[in-house]
Amino acid sequence: MKTTWIMLPLAFAVSVSFGDEPAAPTKDEIAAKLNGVTASDITDSPIQGLYQISVGSNVAYVTTDGRYLIQGEVYDLESLENVTEATRAAARIELLGAVDPSEMIVFRPEGEPKHTVTIFTDIDCGYCRQFHRDIERVNALGIEVRYLFYPRTGPDTESWAKADRVWCAEDRNAALTRAKLGGSIPDKECGETPVAEHYELGHRVGVRGTPAMYAENGELIGGYLPPDQLLETLEEIAN
C-alpha cells in the first residue's frame, strides 16, 4: 500500500521549500511536493497564512508560501470548537455514508433505531468480541450496529481469511456471531468480498485500532464501551 502524506516524517515535511521565489507557490506546486496530495485537497483554512490539507479524514496545514507543514489540532478559542476534528468528522460522514448497508453486516433493533454506530471490527480482536457478546443488549437499547471488517494483521492472514469466509456465509450475522464467540468459521468461499474495500476505507477514515466506533455525526467514539455507556455517549452526542 502506498504511504500517504500524513504518515511521512516531519523531516520530510519541513523540507518543502520553494527557495527565494518572490511569487507564492500555487496549490499545484505545493501538492507536487507532498505524496498522495492533489491541488483539490488543499483549501483555505480559518487561519490567515495557512492552507488546510484534507485527504480522507487526515487533516494537516501548510503555510501559503509552501514552506512549512503543520500536523496537529486547531481550536477556535471563541467557540471552543476543535476545527480540525470538525473537518475530520465531516470527511467521515461522507466516506461512511457512501457505503451501502448491504455491503456491511448490520445488527438491527426492533422498530426504528434511536442511534446508529458504524464499527470497524476484527474477528480476532478481544475487545471486539467482548462488545459483540452484548450485541442483543445493544440492539435492545435501540442502537443499530453496522459492521465493517478491519483485520488488523492485514491481507493474506488468518484474520483476513476468517472475515472473507464469514462474508460468504449464507447467514452472515449468525456466522459473525459464532466466529466472535470462538465457534466454527464457515469454510465456504465465494470469490471477491468487500473485506479489502472495508480495510482500505478504514485507512481513509483514520482507523488506528479495533473496535473503532463512529457515531452518525462522524465523531469517533473510541474503542470498546459497555452497552449502557455507549447509549449514554450517543445521547450526549445527539444532544
User: Which residues have a catalytic role annotated?
Assistant: 122, 125, 128, 152
Q: Where are the alpha helices (DSSP H) in 81-238?
A: 83-97, 126-133, 135-140, 158-168, 172-180, 195-205, 227-238
Separation of alpha carbons 73 and 80, rounded Å: 12
Contact 6, 60 (CB under 8 A): yes
- In 10-94, the DSSP E strands lie at 42-44, 50-55, 58-63, 69-70, 75-76, 81-82
